[in-house]
Amino acid sequence: MINDIQKDASIRMGKSIDALKHEFSKIRTGRAHPSLLDQVTVSYYGTESSISQVANVAVEDSRTLTITPWEKGMVQAIEKAILKSDLGLNPATNGMVIRVPLPSLTEERRRSLVKVVKHEAENGRVAIRNIRRDANSDIQKALKEKLISEDEARSGEDKIQKLTDQFVKDVEKLLEAKEADLLSI
């Protein structure tokens, strides 16, 4: 019983870490990476699709992305979608190829991105603590229903706490790495 609760909590906490990594990948660090445009959608025959589904997104150099749409009619739509996004990018079209130069990050922008990263990390820690609370309440329910003893409940809560501490350390490691990445020039 306790092992099932612990296993479920571990899986859910792992998913929280994966979600945090995904959020961190959206925050750009000054280097071009195709995943920067993952959340930008474009209307493709009436359906909202990500740019990577309607075009080839590649890194030309460390500060430039190139987008080659699969259909000529998509060039304008992709360009407009990038301009409307809150990424602060200005695409330049050259026939069928859209080049997206990434401006270098100012010190002020780097500091504001660090604040955003810290906020995302705090959301990750809160999610992990919520999972701990859910697991502990499951243990308490099992105790009330006399499925486990008080010693087993106490032992289970200790295991859940150790698991929580480990995942919070993982969040801290991710935060430190992203912060260092943002602040390096």
Query: Could you tell me if 60 and 93 lie in one domain?
Result: yes
Task: Residue 77: name the closest of 58, 101, 50 by CA.
Answer: 50
Q: What is the pLDDT of residues 122-169, one digit of tens each?
A: 999 999 999 999 999 999 999 899 888 899 999 999 999 999 999 999
Query: Could you tell me if 156 and 88 lie in one domain?
Result: no
Which amino acid is present at 61? D
CA distance 108 to 111: 5
Please provide the size of the chain in residues: 185
For the chain, what is the domain count?
2
Which backbone phi and psi does 133 adopt, to 5 degrees?
-60, -45
The last residue of a domain, from among 68, 101, 134: 101
Query: Could you tell me if 112 and 176 lie in one domain?
Result: yes
Is 113 or 130 the better-scoring residue by pLDDT? Answer: 130
Checking if the pLDDT of 95 tops 80, the result is: yes
Handedness of CA 157, 163, 169, 171 (dihedral sign): negative
CA distance 144 to 130: 21
Residue 52 sits in a domain whose CATH number is 3.30.1360.40
Structure tokens at 154: 């106490």
Neighbouring C-beta atoms of residue 7, cutoff 10 Å: 11
Residue 49, CB-side half-sphere exposure with 13 Å CA sphere:
14
Q: Is residue 64 within 8 Å of 75, Cβ to Cβ?
A: no
- Give the chain's mean pLDDT: 87
Q: Is residue 90 within 8 Å of 121, Cβ to Cβ?
A: no
CA distance 9 to 16: 10
Query: Could you tell me if 54 and 22 lie in one domain?
Result: no
pLDDT at residue 61, rounded to an integer: 83
Reported as type and span, the H/E element at residue 47 is strand 47-50
Q: Which domain holds residue 174?
A: 2-26+106-183
Query: Could you tell me if 44 and 95 lie in one domain?
Result: yes
Checking if the pLDDT of 116 tops 90, the result is: no
Structure tokens at 159: 């295991």
Eight-class DSSP state of 28: -
Checking if the pLDDT of 29 tops 70, the result is: no
pTM (predicted TM-score): 0.69
Q: What is the pLDDT of residues 156-169, one digit of tens each?
A: 999 999 999 999 99
pLDDT at residue 30, rounded to an integer: 65
Residue 144 sits in a domain whose CATH number is 1.10.132.20
